[in-house]
Amino acid sequence: MTTKTITRRTSFALAGAVLALPSLGRADSALPDKPLKILVGFPAGGGTDVMARFLAEPLKQRTGRNIIIDNKSGASGTIAVEALKNSAPDGTAIAYVPSATIVQKLTMASVPFDPMTDIAPITLAGTVQTAFCVSPTISVNTLPEYIAWLKQNPTRHSFGTTALGSFTHFFGVMAGREFGIPLEPVPYRGAAPLVADLQGGHIAAGCGGITDFLEHHRAGKVKVIFTSGLKPTTSAPEIPTATQLGYPKLNILGWYVFFAPAKTPPALIDAWGNELRAVLKLPEVDRKLTELGLDVETSTPAQFSQRMATDFARWKTIIDEIGYKPAN
DSSP codes, 270-319: HHHHHHHHHHHTSHHHHHHHHHTT-EE----HHHHHHHHHHHHHHHHHHH
248-275 burial string, b = 16+ CB within 10 Å, else e?
Answer: eebebbbbbbbbbbbebeeebbebbbbb
User: Residue 166: is its pLDDT beyond 50?
Assistant: yes
User: Residue 228: is its pLDDT beyond 80?
Assistant: yes
pLDDT digits (tens, 9 = 90+) for 253-273: 999 999 999 999 999 999 999
The CATH class for the domain spanning 8-127+255-313 reads: alpha beta
User: Residue 2: is its pLDDT beyond 60?
Assistant: no
Please count the other Cβ atoms lying within 10 Å of the Cβ belonging to residue 127: 17
Q: Where are the domains of the chain?
A: 8-127+255-313, 129-227
CATH topology agreement for domains 8-127+255-313 and 129-227: yes
pLDDT digits (tens, 9 = 90+) for 275-321: 999 999 999 999 999 988 899 999 999 999 999 999 999 999 999 98
DSSP 87: S
Task: Tell me the whole-structure pTM to 2 decimals.
Answer: 0.83
Reported confidence tier of residue 75, pLDDT bands at 50, 70, 90: confident
Q: What percent of the chain has pLDDT over 90?
A: 73
Taking the C-alpha atoms of residue 232 and residue 309, their distance in angstroms, rounded to an integer, is 25
CATH architecture of 129-227: 3-Layer(aba) Sandwich (3.40)
pLDDT digits (tens, 9 = 90+) for 4-47: 444 434 443 454 444 444 444 455 679 999 999 999 998 887 77
pLDDT digits (tens, 9 = 90+) for 105-122: 998 888 999 999 999 999
Taking the C-alpha atoms of residue 146 and residue 9, their distance in angstroms, rounded to an integer, is 32
> What integer pLDDT is reported at residue 183 of this predicted model?
97
Closest of 7, 262, 258, 11 to residue 126, by C-alpha: 258
134 near 204, Cβ under 8 Å?
yes
